[in-house]
């Protein structure tokens, strides 16, 4: 280490969120975060919904600390500790001649880190903040500590922060392979196709409410695993086939099949939530109205124009087949949910006036 202890080494990373089109909902191992089924997601454009995390190390830091959206959070939960421990174990020597910093491999055991993270979209509102958040933290720490692991290896570490985070290490369409190993070594993300493969698609997020959800994904899925028979049927009998069909639809850029599978899987995930005891309601009336709007429109057109999917929250992720469909969708959304109107709009505007973000 440099003789002078006033040095600070800083790294900043930015990671987009991802939205599952075949959902992960349920763990077979809570500590290692191993899922009961494979899942597939689409990584969003980082210029729209993303996390920015800055990590720093200095001999003057006497403990690990983290700030999320400007507020200090506790790192005592196992997830942050697990990610830190895994990256620390892979830390390598760092030499920054310009700053006169030399950190030997063994020094990393004694050094503490500070992390500051910002989400440019609602946190804990069903837009996968935990996915972008943990992927970004793991990626930034790996750079800080000069860990040489590939993104695939890092995905298995990010998974231990939040399951969905493993998929944010890659762009395009990504599959989280559930794996078989008891230690979780083969439960990681693989890129199916990159973001160029199907670039006609336009994603529009309708922010119905940016309020923090009442039931976190972690506790919601724990309750579902314990009480929902439908969850186990889904994981065993339905998802494996859907995964194969979805991979095929993505490979062939078959929007008809893609949208049918995406909408059906979102609806089944929310049916599992209803099948949980006590039932969990992530969607609200506005979410339901958006579903009806899209269903009616798709039916009237004969061929589907838009797919919808809702994570653990009321906010709609709408995937339009092309720019023309996206423009029509935006017009419809603005017509049925006009900004600054009353009554109908309350639930739509609740907590958020930004309404719609074009992530295409
Ligand atoms: P979401 O639907 O937004 O993913 P979750 O319930 O899955 O909601 O997770 C929300 C939790 O994820 C937050 O309470 C926080 O603990 C963690 N989280 C969110 N954003 C970040 C971030 N940028 N860095 C680290 N952790 C984060
Ligand atoms: C509905 O990854 O947030 O978004 O692993 O407990 O952190 P933890 O849960 P999380 O769950 C995501 C659930 C989902 C579906 C998905 O992203 O696949
Ligand atoms: Co989450």
Q: What is the pLDDT of residues 84-104, one digit of tens each?
A: 999 999 999 999 888 889 999
Contact criterion met (CB below 8 Å) for 240 and 38: yes
What confidence score (pLDDT) does residue 4 get?
A: 65
Q: Which residues pair with 206 in a beta bridge?
A: 316, 356
Best mutation site among 15, 50, 128, 130 for ligand 1, i.e. most ligand atoms within 8 A of its Cβ? 130
Residue 348 pLDDT class (50, 70, 90 cuts): very low
Calpha distance 60→4 (Å, rounded): 10
Calpha distance 211→234 (Å, rounded): 29
Please name which of 328, 13, 78, 39 lies closest in space to residue 192, comparing C-alpha atoms.
Answer: 39
Proximal ligand: closest to the CA of 125: 1
List, for residues 40-49, the tens digit of each pLDDT value. Answer: 999 998 777 8
| Residue 245: Cβ-neighbour burial (10 angstroms; 0-12, 13-18, 19+) | middle
Calpha distance 14→117 (Å, rounded): 10
Ligand 2 nearest atom to the CA of residue 176, by list position: 18
Mean pLDDT score, 301-321 = 95
Distance (Å) from CA 165 to ligand 3 centroid? 8
Ligand 1 nearest atom to the CA of residue 69, by list position: 23
The yes-or-no verdict on residue 2 having pLDDT over 70 is no
Calpha distance 206→136 (Å, rounded): 24
Q: Degrees (nearest 5) of the Cα angle 28, 229, 242? A: 70
Residue 342 pLDDT class (50, 70, 90 cuts): very low
Mean pLDDT score, 295-318 = 96
Please indicate, yes or no, whether the overall pTM of this predicted structure exceeds 0.90: yes
Calpha distance 214→355 (Å, rounded): 21
Instruction: Give the three-class secondary structure for 39.
Output: strand
Distance (Å) from CA 324 to ligand 3 centroid? 31
What confidence score (pLDDT) does residue 108 get?
A: 96
Contact criterion met (CB below 8 Å) for 16 and 44: yes
The yes-or-no verdict on residue 355 having pLDDT over 60 is no
- Lowest mean pLDDT of 60-69, 90-99, 322-331, 348-357, name the range: 348-357
The yes-or-no verdict on residue 338 having pLDDT over 50 is yes
Mean pLDDT score, 324-331 = 92
List, for residues 192-248, the tens digit of each pLDDT value. Answer: 999 999 999 999 888 888 888 899 999 999 999 999 999 999 999 999 999 999 999
Residue 296 pLDDT class (50, 70, 90 cuts): very high
Ligand 2 nearest atom to the CA of residue 23, by list position: 18
Distance (Å) from CA 162 to ligand 2 centroid? 7
Distance (Å) from CA 217 to ligand 2 centroid? 6
Mean pLDDT score, 135-159 = 97
Distance (Å) from CA 127 to ligand 3 centroid? 7
Among 15-29, 91-105, 337-351, the range of highest mean pLDDT: 15-29
Instruction: Give the three-class secondary structure for 301.
Output: helix
Q: Whose CA is nearest to atom 26 of ligand 1?
A: 133
Calpha distance 161→82 (Å, rounded): 7
Calpha distance 334→61 (Å, rounded): 50
Best mutation site among 114, 129, 217 for ligand 1, i.e. most ligand atoms within 8 A of its Cβ? 129
Mean pLDDT score, 166-193 = 97
The yes-or-no verdict on residue 267 having pLDDT over 90 is yes
Contact criterion met (CB below 8 Å) for 208 and 314: yes
The yes-or-no verdict on residue 54 having pLDDT over 60 is yes
pLDDT, mean over the chain:
91
Contact criterion met (CB below 8 Å) for 139 and 90: no
Q: Whose CA is nearest to atom 15 of ligand 1?
A: 130
What confidence score (pLDDT) does residue 147 get?
A: 97
Contacts of 125 (CB under 8 A, 6+ apart): 209, 210, 211, 212, 213, 313, 315
Residue 339 pLDDT class (50, 70, 90 cuts): confident
Please name which of 285, 283, 356 lies closest in space to residue 313, comparing C-alpha atoms.
Answer: 283
The yes-or-no verdict on residue 3 having pLDDT over 60 is no
């Amino acid at each position: 280490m440099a003789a002078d202890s006033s040095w600070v080494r800083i790294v900043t990373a930015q990671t987009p969120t991802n939205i599952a089109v075949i959902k992960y909902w349920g763990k077979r191992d809570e500590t290692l975060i191993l899922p009961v089924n494979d899942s597939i997601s689409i990584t969003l454009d980082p210029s729209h919904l993303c996390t920015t995390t800055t990590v720093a190390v200095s001999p003057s830091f006497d403990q690990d600390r983290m700030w999320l959206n400007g507020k200090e959070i506790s790192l005592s939960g196992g997830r942050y500790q697990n990610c830190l421990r895994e990256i620390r174990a892979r830390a390598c020597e760092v030499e920054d001649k310009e700053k006169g910093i030399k950190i030997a491999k063994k020094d990393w055991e004694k050094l503490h880190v500070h992390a500051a993270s910002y989400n440019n979209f609602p946190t804990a509102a069903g837009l996968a903040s935990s996915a972008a958040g943990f992927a970004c933290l793991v990626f930034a720490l790996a750079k800080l500590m000069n860990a040489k692991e590939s993104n695939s290896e890092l995905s298995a570490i990010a998974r231990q922060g939040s399951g969905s985070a493993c998929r944010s290490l890659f762009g395009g369409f990504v599959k989280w392979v559930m794996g078989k190993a008891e230690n979780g070594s083969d439960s990681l993300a693989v890129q199916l196709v990159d973001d160029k493969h199907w670039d006609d698609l336009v994603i529009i997020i309708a922010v119905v409410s940016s309020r923090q959800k009442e039931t976190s994904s972690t506790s919601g899925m724990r309750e579902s695993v314990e009480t929902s028979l439908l969850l186990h049927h889904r994981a065993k009998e339905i998802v494996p086939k859907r995964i194969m069909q979805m991979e095929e639809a993505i490979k062939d850029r078959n929007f008809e099949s893609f949208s049918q599978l995406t909408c059906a899987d979102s609806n089944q995930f929310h049916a599992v939530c209803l099948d949980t005891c006590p039932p969990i309601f992530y969607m609200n009336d506005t979410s339901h109205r958006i579903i009806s709007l899209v269903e009616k429109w798709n039916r009237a057109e004969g061929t589907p124009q838009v797919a919808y999917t809702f994570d653990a929250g009321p906010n709609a992720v709408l995937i339009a087949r092309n720019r023309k469909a996206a423009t029509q969708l935006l017009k419809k959304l603005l017509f049925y949910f006009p900004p600054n109107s009353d009554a109908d709009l309350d639930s739509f505007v609740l907590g958020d006036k930004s309404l719609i973000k074009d992530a295409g």
